[in-house]
Amino acid sequence: MSIKVENLTKYYGQQAAVNDITFEINTGEIVGFLGPNGAGKSTTMKMITTYLTPSAGKIYVNDLSTESESLEVRKKIGYLPEQNPLYLDMNVLDYLEFAAELESVPKSDIAKSIKKMVGVCGLGDVQHKDIGELSKGFKQRVGLAQAMIHEPDVLILDEPTSGLDPNQIIEIRKLIKQLGKEKTLVLSTHILQEVEATCDRVLIINKGQIVADGTPDSLQDKFRGQVQISLVLKKDSVDKDLVLRAISSIRNIEKARISKEDELSYHLLIAGRKGEDVREDIFRKMVSMNQVILGLHQEETSLEDIFRQLTTKSN
């Protein structure tokens, strides 16, 4: 067991930022904290990294308590805080050396571990530059290198790809996936594709509580509701009422309506019962009625839909 969180609660004044959450993260897992801004993701991470103290509840990292064995816990953790704060006036190598010394990497190993991190994070070309001169993508790599300089068992990355351009995001994700092979990795994000692209497991957090926990696939299965089908019919010679009635009569179809209509076509939205594929029935029906199908497409419930469902319903 790598991280164990028990009944964790954190109050900011009167407001509970994190409200009685409990979870466990196993060694080697890549876990994504997903949630809207202000859901309590960063607060939870700050408590795991000992920056904040819980108002109630306990956290154990490798069976060490974050409160009574704070310094020991910090040695096990590599942390990239939100917004990736860095000393902009230092150059990359000096900064990594500073980080290594603070993490009590033995003096004889410092040069070796800096070299390794420069290699892994692709910092070779910029290692002599001041951090302030670097692009956002490179700064992010410096932040990651700093977090891993002492080869921690647990890596905690708070929004590691925020503010990067799409190419940089893909590179950082690749890096994260590669790192996650050897370590327990917790990352937070409010971007869904990120979780789908990198994580083994997702914790969806909303208003300080965990509202869902599972692999991205299992969550999709669990929350898959109706099947939604969009159907586009050529407009000429269509009697729309007749078509709607015919479709509604097909087995396993719950509802059908026209969502849009333009000069050439009708767009229909059809809701089918969970787990049933009704596309073939629709196709045969339309053919039998001599209607021309321009498009027929079944939409999967995406993680995005689940996310929206879970994080907005209580508002």
Q: How far is the CB of 13 from another protein (least distance, A)?
A: 10
Residue placing its CB nearer to another protein in the complex, 88 or 170:
88
Instruction: State which of positions 246-305 bind another protein (CB under 8 A).
Output: none
Which of 26, 104, 135, 259 is close enough to bind another protein by CB under 8 A?
104
> In terms of C-beta density within 10 A (0-12 exposed, 13-18 middle, 19 or more buried), how is residue 13 classed?
exposed
Which of 6, 20, 29, 72 is close enough to bind another protein by CB under 8 A?
72
Q: How far is the CB of 45 from another protein (least distance, A)?
A: 10
Q: Is 157 in the site for another protein (CB under 8 A)?
A: no
Instruction: Count the residues of the shown chain that bind another protein, applying the rule CB under 8 A.
Output: 29
Q: Is 170 in the site for another protein (CB under 8 A)?
A: no
Q: Which stretch binds another protein (CB under 8 A): 32-40, 71-79, 115-123, 207-215?
A: 71-79
Secondary structure (DSSP) of the chain: --EEEEEEEEEETTEEEEEEEEEEE-TT-EEEEE--TTSSHHHHHHHHTTSS--SEEEEEETTEETTTTHHHHHHHEEEE-TT----TTSBHHHHHHHHHHHTT--HHHHHHHHHHHHHHTT-GGGTTSBGGGS-HHHHHHHHHHHHHTT--SEEEEESTTTT--HHHHHHHHHHHHHHHTTSEEEEEES-HHHHHHH-SEEEEEETTEEEEEE-HHHHHHHH--SEEEEEEEESTT--HHHHHHHHHTSTTEEEEEEEEE-SSEEEEEEEE-TT---HHHHHHHHHHTTPPEEEEEEEPPPHHHHHHHHHHTT-
Q: Which stretch binds another protein (CB under 8 A): 96-104, 226-234, 287-295, 303-311?
A: 96-104
Cα 300 to Cα 47, 170, 226: the distances in Å are 37, 24, 9
Q: Is 161 in the site for another protein (CB under 8 A)?
A: no
Residue placing its CB nearer to another protein in the complex, 88 or 293:
88
d(CA 96, CA 6): 34
Q: Is 114 in the site for another protein (CB under 8 A)?
A: no
Residue placing its CB nearer to another protein in the complex, 93 or 289:
93
Q: Is 85 in the site for another protein (CB under 8 A)?
A: yes
Q: Is 93 in the site for another protein (CB under 8 A)?
A: no
Q: Is 50 in the site for another protein (CB under 8 A)?
A: yes
Residue placing its CB nearer to another protein in the complex, 68 or 288:
68
Residue placing its CB nearer to another protein in the complex, 94 or 281:
94
Q: How far is the CB of 251 from another protein (least distance, A)?
A: 59
Instruction: State which of positions 175-214 bind another protein (CB under 8 A).
Output: none
Residue placing its CB nearer to another protein in the complex, 111 or 170:
111
Nearest to 54 by CA among 63, 42, 62, 66: 66
Q: Is 148 in the site for another protein (CB under 8 A)?
A: no
Q: How far is the CB of 195 from another protein (least distance, A)?
A: 24
d(CA 60, CA 3): 6
Residues that bind another protein (CB under 8 A): 46, 49-53, 71-72, 74-75, 77, 79, 81-83, 85-90, 94, 98-99, 101-104, 146
